[in-house]
Chain A
Amino acid sequence: MPQDLRFLIVDDFSTMRRIIRNLLKEIGYTDADEAEDGVAALNKLRSGNFNFVVSDINMPNMNGFQLLQQIKADERLRSLPVLMVTAEARKEDIIQAAQGGAAGYIVKPFTKATLEEKVGNILRKQAMAS
């Protein structure tokens, strides 16, 4: 049974934010907010109590790699799991995300089952670690 968690969905395309928000709702996570780039995401993360970040990579102003770096450099945010959901399919990008501390990586286009599986895996790992 999904826990009562607050998600932040970061993507410059409103369509994709809406799709991910609806999918999370179907999976059982109803509390979600949205940000259109890394800068807006950081502002929201620093002022709200979020438990999980789902982020795109290719965004204006601050991309997903830079956002990940900022999250991991912030003592209050670094424990937040960050799941990358992106069209970037180069192996070097996937490796960079993993080495930067991303908790998971989903390549677009993706399915509801993939999102459910990755979110579930990340939360299970987090519960086991704490």
Chain B
Amino acid sequence: MSADAAAPVMADGVFRQLGALTRQLHDTLRELGHAGSLQGSVGLLPDAKSRLEYIAQLTGQAADKVLGEVERAKGAQAQAGQALDWISQRMALHGSSLPPAFQSELHEFLAQVRQQQTAVDASLTEIMLAQDFHDLTGQVISRVVSMAAHLEAQLLSLLVAQAAAAGTAVDADAGGTQRDAASVAPQPAPSELQGPVIDRARSDVVTSQSQVDDLLASMGF
């Protein structure tokens, strides 16, 4: 027998096996009385999604609020810097008329304030950068929400098939919305893009900017 002729026979066997497995799963669910609890679990998934979306919304609002405050504080810092510049210029022009000891103290004071101002500005930049948690956690939440939607659709398909076999209707929603097989739209496959790395032990990812630079350099970029 040629390979082409054997292919449909093999596919037929696989389908028969899949059919038997599905039937077995349906029968087991019915016998164990799990169809009802599975239906309840499907109903919980939209709630889980909305809770995750709520977290994303609140963290976004918090990050925006912090960024607003940082921008205002940086503005005030910039104005304070301009005031320091003005005082320094005045000192350069007229400082010599002041008592020498006072001149020295004033120079020292101005230098200290400028140093503190630079340090505060650097801290504000770090606080601003730390708000990237909203983007990074938001991407992870979005991925989990997408996975929950996919899982919900798969479980619903299973329930609809089980209900059809048993001749009963499926109440797939905790809110009581009736769904049938036609309402179970195929879900898009999760994005191939992975988002932030959770498992840093993976060998197919980089864990630092220097690894990115090394990889690109090794390729001649």
With A and B bound together, what is the CA distance between A22 and B77 in angstroms? 14
User: Which residues of chain B from 111 to 156 have any CB-CB distance to chain A below 8 Å in the complex?
Assistant: 125, 128-129, 131-132, 134-136, 138-139
Whether, in the assembled complex, B221 has its beta carbon less than 8 Å from a beta carbon of chain A, the answer is yes
Whether, in the assembled complex, A16 has its beta carbon less than 8 Å from a beta carbon of chain B, the answer is yes
Whether, in the assembled complex, B14 has its beta carbon less than 8 Å from a beta carbon of chain A, the answer is no
Q: Which one of A26, A63, A107 contacts B212 once the chains associate, using CB atoms below 8 Å? A: A107
Q: Are B207 and A89 in contact (CB under 8 A)?
A: yes
Q: Which residues of A contact B13 (CB under 8 A)?
A: none
With A and B bound together, what is the CA distance between A58 and B197 in angstroms? 13
With A91-B205, A92-B204 as given contacts, are A13 and B193 in contact (CB-CB < 8 Å)? no
With A and B bound together, what is the CA distance between A29 and B61 in angstroms? 27
What does the 1/0 interface line of A93-115 toward B look like (CB < 8 Å)? 11100100000011111111010
With A and B bound together, what is the CA distance between A93 and B63 in angstroms? 28
Whether, in the assembled complex, A83 has its beta carbon less than 8 Å from a beta carbon of chain B, the answer is no
Whether, in the assembled complex, B47 has its beta carbon less than 8 Å from a beta carbon of chain A, the answer is no
With A and B bound together, what is the CA distance between A11 and B132 in angstroms? 12
Whether, in the assembled complex, B191 has its beta carbon less than 8 Å from a beta carbon of chain A, the answer is yes
With A and B bound together, what is the CA distance between A106 and B128 in angstroms? 18
Q: Which residues of A contact B164 (CB under 8 A)?
A: none
Q: Which one of B135, B196, B204, B208 contacts A13 once the chains associate, using CB atoms below 8 Å? A: B135
Q: Are B215 and A89 in contact (CB under 8 A)?
A: no
Whether, in the assembled complex, B209 has its beta carbon less than 8 Å from a beta carbon of chain A, the answer is yes
Whether, in the assembled complex, B206 has its beta carbon less than 8 Å from a beta carbon of chain A, the answer is yes
Q: Which residues of A contact B216 (CB under 8 A)?
A: 94, 98, 105
With A92-B204, A98-B221 as given contacts, are A108 and B215 in contact (CB-CB < 8 Å)? no
Chain B interface, DSSP helix/strand/loop, else mixed? helix
CB distance from B49 to the nearest CB of A (A): 17
Q: Which residues of B contact A13 (CB under 8 A)?
A: 134-135, 138
Q: Are B134 and A94 in contact (CB under 8 A)?
A: no
Whether, in the assembled complex, A5 has its beta carbon less than 8 Å from a beta carbon of chain B, the answer is no
Q: Are A58 and B195 in contact (CB under 8 A)?
A: yes
With A and B bound together, what is the CA distance between A106 and B212 in angstroms? 8
Whether, in the assembled complex, A57 has its beta carbon less than 8 Å from a beta carbon of chain B, the answer is yes
Whether, in the assembled complex, B158 has its beta carbon less than 8 Å from a beta carbon of chain A, the answer is no
User: Which residues of chain B from 196 to 221 have any CB-CB distance to chain A below 8 Å in the complex?
Assistant: 196-197, 204-209, 212, 215-216, 219, 221
Q: Are B67 and A18 in contact (CB under 8 A)?
A: yes
Q: Are B67 and A91 in contact (CB under 8 A)?
A: no
User: Which residues of chain A from 52 to 104 have any CB-CB distance to chain B below 8 Å in the complex?
Assistant: 57-58, 63, 87-95, 98
With A and B bound together, what is the CA distance between A94 and B204 in angstroms? 11
What does the 1/0 interface line of A37-49 toward B look like (CB < 8 Å)? 0000000000000
Q: Which residues of A contact B70 (CB under 8 A)?
A: 22
Whether, in the assembled complex, B97 has its beta carbon less than 8 Å from a beta carbon of chain A, the answer is no
What are 15 A-B contacts defined by CB distance under 8 Å? A15-B135, A16-B134, A16-B135, A18-B64, A23-B125, A23-B129, A58-B139, A63-B193, A87-B195, A88-B195, A89-B207, A94-B206, A98-B219, A107-B212, A108-B196
